[in-house]
Amino acid sequence: MLEIKNLHARIAEDGTEIIRGLDLTVKAGEVAAIMGPNGSGKSTLSYILSGREDYEVTEGDILYNGESILELDPSERAAKGIFLAFQYPVEIPGVATMQFLKVALNEQRKYRGEEELSTPDFIRRVKEASARLQINPDMLKRPLNVGFSGGEKKRAEILQMALLEPKLCVLDETDSGLDIDALKIVADGVNALRSPDRAVVVITHYQRLLEYIVPDSVHVLYKGQIIKSGDKSLALDLEANGYADIIDAAA
């Protein structure tokens, strides 16, 4: 589903290279975890996948279902099924949460040539999904993410993901700032979306989240490259021994 080939990317503004020859393949149905120390390029990778224009790809390619997505803008990528759950969801005063959800859903459907959802149908879907994620309906009456706690914001991200039904989910440090109860709710939300035709890339710092979202593969990102890949036991190794041995071995 996702093939990243020899990807090189830099910050557009100052030319600093962050991703330096990254290769990664994630198959449909797979949950891949990307781990790595601070500054290894984890968040940058998530932004590049979703098309943020602050970064420039200088070499290599990103194939999604066999097609390069480098020329697609963020909204096109989203409509094709790529979803980024933000590490820091943005508060937008003045944009009502429900209106935002409806516009996003219908713009994606429009792009794919599908019919727009009727309002009752839309409301029913939101109610069902928010009940599963234990989201208080009053939260949805507020402007987008405004006044939400850290945990509420992360749950709201998973709610958006559940409603938009993407094919490739990229979770950027979704566990940061969550207590254990909120972590379980979020993990359950993600697990509910696991399916043979959907891939999930979990970017995380800690193994903790991976106890709840059990990955099929684990990849260590360091200085913009994948320096080691393995199964879920790799995450446990990292937890026990830290990154130093792997980094030394790769050097």
| Interface with other proteins (CB under 8 A) | 50-53, 73-75, 77-79, 84, 86, 89-90, 92-95, 100, 103-105, 107-108, 111, 143, 160, 164
Which one, 34 or 49, has the nearer CB to other proteins?
Answer: 49
Is the Cβ–Cβ distance between 68 and 61 less than 8 Å? yes
Which one, 78 or 187, has the nearer CB to other proteins?
Answer: 78
Which one, 154 or 223, has the nearer CB to other proteins?
Answer: 154
**Integer Cα distance of 98 and 127 in angstroms:** 11
Which one, 80 or 228, has the nearer CB to other proteins?
Answer: 80
Is the Cβ–Cβ distance between 32 and 86 less than 8 Å? no
Which one, 141 or 184, has the nearer CB to other proteins?
Answer: 141
Q: Measured from the CB of residue 169, what is the shortest distance to other proteins in angstroms? A: 12
Q: Measured from the CB of residue 244, what is the shortest distance to other proteins in angstroms? A: 34
Which one, 164 or 247, has the nearer CB to other proteins?
Answer: 164
DSSP letters spanning the chain: -EEEEEEEEEETTT--EEEEEEEEEE-TT-EEEEE--TTSSHHHHHHHHHT-TTEEEEEEEEEETTEE-TTS-HHHHHHTTEEEE-SSPPPEEEEEHHHHHHHHHHHHHHHTTPPPPPHHHHHHHHHHHHHHTT--GGGGGSEETTT--HHHHHHHHHHHHHHH--SEEEEESTTTT--HHHHHHHHHHHHHH--TT-EEEEEESSSHHHHHS--SEEEEEETTEEEEEE-HHHHHHHHHH-SHHHHHHH-
Q: Measured from the CB of residue 84, what is the shortest distance to other proteins in angstroms? A: 6
Q: Measured from the CB of residue 166, what is the shortest distance to other proteins in angstroms? A: 9
Which one, 59 or 107, has the nearer CB to other proteins?
Answer: 107
Q: Measured from the CB of residue 17, what is the shortest distance to other proteins in angstroms? A: 21
Q: Measured from the CB of residue 162, what is the shortest distance to other proteins in angstroms? A: 13
Q: Measured from the CB of residue 21, what is the shortest distance to other proteins in angstroms? A: 26
